[in-house]
Amino acid sequence: MKNVLVTGVNGQIGSELSDLLEAKYNVDKVVGLDIRPSLPPYKRAHEIVDITKKEAFRHVLEKHQIDTIFHLASILSAVGEKNPDQAWDINMTGLKNVLDLVRGTAIKVFWPSSIAVFGPNSPKMNTPQDTILGPTTMYGITKNAGELLCNYYFDKFDVDVRSVRYPGIISYKTEPGGGTTDYAVEIFYEAIKHKVYTCFVTSQTCLPMMYMEDALHAAAEVMFADKAQIGVRTSYNLAAVSFTAEELAEEIKKHIPDFHCNFVPDFRQKIAESWPRVIDDSVARKEWAWQHKYDLAAITEDMLTQLKKKIKLN
């Protein structure tokens, strides 16, 4: 892994992945790509390209002699439900362009799937690696089809594409981009700024979540694993912690005792209810030694410490 391209580099995950790859994984050069201009203080090469435009994307791969792609450019679940045509176009055409352009080359690809790949008929507890999927959102449908496409390109064309099904990701550097688990980030900002938050899912809604540091390490580690270790070419179940919205609010109250959370569910409640509560990620743990570091208490403590510095209320 020498010359790495991160698509969707301005997003919640992309904006943090470049630093980690350079700092901890000895990557020589990271090039960012996004449909939007780079966010300050990003100082690396940055290409403004629409991922659905194949020739422009090909030019970037050739220009920078890319050998590894982290393909993160995407439309997320809540935004995708408002504009399903755009979600299909960017998520599917974008992924197919990536896979087509790396066919016949040695370029490796990381592409994240999501817990949104599951649907109302999937088991909610300890959801296994192989089970009923049946997503009901356009976002989830693109993840389901994307997983099959990755598996197809591996089987048929030997494309080395690897994937994990991310749960909701909690982070403080870049705000989330319109997913159903965004409440688990917004709640921290509002707790610090106003000591009150109106949560858009019910208090008992329980979803799998992960701290950003763990999510970034998962992406890097699945990519650094030997090819022989990767037995799943659709996408690996990946988990860290599961908690209800109320449990999250109670954990924050341990640090901010006068914090109050109201629960007023909106259209995202239905999406959340279609997803698993607890994921069984034993296959990833066994095959490439996946482990998470952050539990709910550690996530809460670090989020509050970092966000207080960021929004300068300390």
Q: Which residues bind ligand NAD (CB under 6 A)?
A: 7-8, 10-14, 34-36, 50-52, 72-74, 76, 90, 112, 114, 166, 168-169, 176-177, 179, 181
Instruction: Give the whole-angstrom CA distance, residue 84 versus residue 81.
Output: 5
Pairing label, strands 206-211, 241-244: antiparallel
CB of residue 203 vs ligand NAD: minimum separation in angstroms? Answer: 21
CB of residue 89 vs ligand NAD: minimum separation in angstroms? Answer: 8
CB of residue 233 vs ligand NAD: minimum separation in angstroms? Answer: 17
Nearer to ligand NAD, 34 or 147 (CB): 34
Nearer to ligand NAD, 56 or 253 (CB): 56
CB of residue 160 vs ligand NAD: minimum separation in angstroms? Answer: 18
Nearer to ligand NAD, 11 or 119 (CB): 11
- Torsion, Cα 96 221 307 305, to 10 degrees, reads 170
Nearer to ligand NAD, 51 or 66 (CB): 51
- Establish whether 183 is a catalytic residue: no
Q: Residue 68 forms beta bridges with which residues?
A: 4, 108
CB burial readout 6-28, b (16+ within 10 A) else e: bbbbbbbbbbbbbebbeeeeebe
Nearer to ligand NAD, 10 or 274 (CB): 10
CA-wise closest residue to 200 among 275, 268, 135:
268
Full DSSP string of 25-69: S--SEEEEEESSPPPTT--S-EEE--TT-HHHHHHHHHHTT--EE
Q: What is the identity of the amino acid at 196? A: V
State the residue number with the nearest CB to ligand NAD: 11
Do residues 4 and 59 lie in contact, with contact meaning Cβ atoms separated by under 8 Å?
no
The residue from 25, 42, 139, 294 that is catalytic is 139
CB of residue 260 vs ligand NAD: minimum separation in angstroms? Answer: 25
Catalytic residue positions, numbered: 139
